[in-house]
């Protein structure tokens, strides 16, 4: 299993660009609120999955309704990426669409995806992402 923390850090590092005023310094032009829109959508789903896990403690797979909501997350992320070039670059470098697709109803895979999104937000802040 790949290390999602390292993958998140590499994704954020890959979107840094030379500062226009000081070429020795790398900056992230992507703003925090652009990532937070994705994080918010993921957190809403995470809450629903947590409720499902409480009601179905032995389940390893999500029900069809939750699987469809997770699939729809790809649509939401694609929409955000289509609206802004910086978000598109972020989505592609972070491989978000493929990661959502790979969840395939698996609860553990979804939980790892949630951690990955949280790590992306944290590394964005750590490496100087704009507010």
Per-residue pLDDT of the chain (131 residues; tens, 9 = 90+): 469 999 999 999 999 888 777 766 788 888 888 888 899 999 999 999 999 999 999 999 999 999 999 999 999 999 999 999 999 999 999 999 999 999 999 999 999 999 999 999 999 999 887 77
CA distance 110 to 131: 27
CA torsion sign for 4, 10, 15, 16 is: positive
CA distance 43 to 114: 8
Parent domain of 68:
4-130
In the chain the first and final C-alpha atoms are separated, in Å, by 32
Cβ-based neighbours of 82, under 8 Å, separated by 6 or more: 88
- Number of independent structural domains in the chain: 1
Question: How would you label 76-91 residue by residue, b for 16+ Cβ within 10 Å and e otherwise?
Answer: bbeebbeeeeebebbb
């Amino acid at each position: 299993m790949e290390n999602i923390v390292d993958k998140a850090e590499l994704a954020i590092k890959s979107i840094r660009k030379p500062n226009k005023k000081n070429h020795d310094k790398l900056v992230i032009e992507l703003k925090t609120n652009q990532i937070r829109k994705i994080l918010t959508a993921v957190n809403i789903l995470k809450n629903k999955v947590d409720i499902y896990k409480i009601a179905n403690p032995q389940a390893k797979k999500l029900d069809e309704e939750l699987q469809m909501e997770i699939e729809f997350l790809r649509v939401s992320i694609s929409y955000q990426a289509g609206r802004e070039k910086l978000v598109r670059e972020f989505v592609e470098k972070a491989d978000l669409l493929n990661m959502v697709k790979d969840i395939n109803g698996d609860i553990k895979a979804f939980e790892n995806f949630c951690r990955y999104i949280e790590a992306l937000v944290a590394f964005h802040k750590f490496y100087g992402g704009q507010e």
